Amino acid sequence: MQTPDKLIGFIGLGVMGKPMSLNLINAGYSLLVLDILAEPIKELVAAGAKAADSPAQIGEKCEVIFTMLPDSPHVEEVVTGKDGILAGTRPGSIIVDMSSIAPLVARKLANIAAEKGVKMLDAPVSGGEPKAIDGSLSIMVGGEEEIFKQVKNLLLCMGTSVTRIGDIGSGNIAKLANQIMVAIHLSSLAEAMVFAEKAGVDPEKVYHAIKDGLAGSAVLNAKMPLILERNFKPGGPIRMHTKDLINVRDTAFAIDAPIPLTTQVMEFMKALKVDGRSEDDHGGLIQYHEKLAGVQVRKK
């Protein structure tokens, strides 16, 4: 069981990782942190963390190490690279990768870690920056149940819903399933509201009319107010959601799973990248539908 007096490692202090780290500090835990950028490290040190020189140093000094990185190659490098976590870890250590990566990569890394007596969980999150800040993320975990029990209290510092799905890789399968549903829902939201706008009906009134019915959802309630204000500041940028859908595509190909709707929405997102919108929030997907219709959905 991890206790506050033992150092916890945290690598990756970006939009999600920084507030997640701060929540661990606010819960009373001692952190050793690392990022490729100096500024978030300074912020975490000011909040009480210590700065590390390399992933290997974190592996050497910490029994539990969290990673929150952009994609599979970054996680592979941080875990197995020359100065990676495994270069410093001791048997019995636990790596919890909270990045959204390809499930097959999570399984491969867990097998490599096991050769050194190190356990690994994949624990991607859903909720975006706002829920990372307030500690209410949904966390989907894959890996051995006994290892999950050892770190569950730590995960509960960062999320209110922490669920073990199954074996290693299943956390990322759950996250990709989540991303499929969010992407398709965002597109259907966009299509419906552009339809209303094109018909000359106020989309805001349509939103209020349907939000408590069967079509209502967390996606609708989170994104529609921002769309009406034309606020596409990223909580979850289109660029990152596209990355997740590419991982869906690759995994679906490997297991022969059909994903016709996901493939179509991924192409919508790629079109927005060409238009220079890849850093917009994924709610900005509506701009693809608006362009087709020649209208704009906004507050009247």
Instruction: With respect to residue 298, please indicate whether it lies within any of the assigned structural domains.
Output: no
Task: Name the residue among 232, 218, 223 with its Cα closest to residue 138.
Answer: 218
Domain boundary among 168, 202, 236: 168
Do residues 208 and 264 share a domain? Answer: yes
Looking at the DSSP bridge assignments, the partners of residue 126 are 138
Domain of 114?
Answer: 7-168
Residue 236 confidence class, pLDDT cut points 50, 70, 90? confident
Q: Active-site residue among 119, 131, 175, 243? A: 175
Handedness of CA 115, 59, 130, 144 (dihedral sign): positive
Do residues 14 and 124 share a domain? Answer: yes
Secondary structure, 3-state, 199-265: CCCCHHHHHHHHCCCCCCCHHHHHHHHHHHCCCCCCCCEHHHHHHHHHHHHHHHHHHCCCCHHHHHH
Instruction: With respect to residue 158, please indicate whether it lies within any of the assigned structural domains.
Output: yes
- Structurally, the chain folds into a number of domains equal to 2
Mean predicted lDDT score pLDDT of the chain: 96
Do residues 154 and 225 share a domain? Answer: no
Instruction: Report the predicted TM-score, pTM, of the whole model to 2 decimal places.
Output: 0.91
Average pLDDT of the segment spanning 77-82: 97
Do residues 269 and 139 share a domain? Answer: no
Do residues 90 and 195 share a domain? Answer: no
Residue 175 has pLDDT above 80, yes or no: yes
Active site residue 131: no
Do residues 37 and 135 share a domain? Answer: yes
Domain boundary among 153, 168, 183: 168
Instruction: With respect to residue 104, please indicate whether it lies within any of the assigned structural domains.
Output: yes
Residue 198 has pLDDT above 70, yes or no: yes
Could you tell me the CATH number of the domain that includes residue 92? 3.40.50.720
Residue 2 has pLDDT above 70, yes or no: no
Residue 17 has pLDDT above 70, yes or no: yes
Instruction: With respect to residue 233, please indicate whether it lies within any of the assigned structural domains.
Output: yes
Instruction: With respect to residue 87, please indicate whether it lies within any of the assigned structural domains.
Output: yes
Instruction: With respect to residue 180, please indicate whether it lies within any of the assigned structural domains.
Output: yes
Do residues 99 and 128 share a domain? Answer: yes
Residue 1 has pLDDT above 60, yes or no: no
Task: Name the residue among 232, 212, 223 with its Cα closest to residue 183.
Answer: 223
Residues of the chain above pLDDT 70, percent: 98
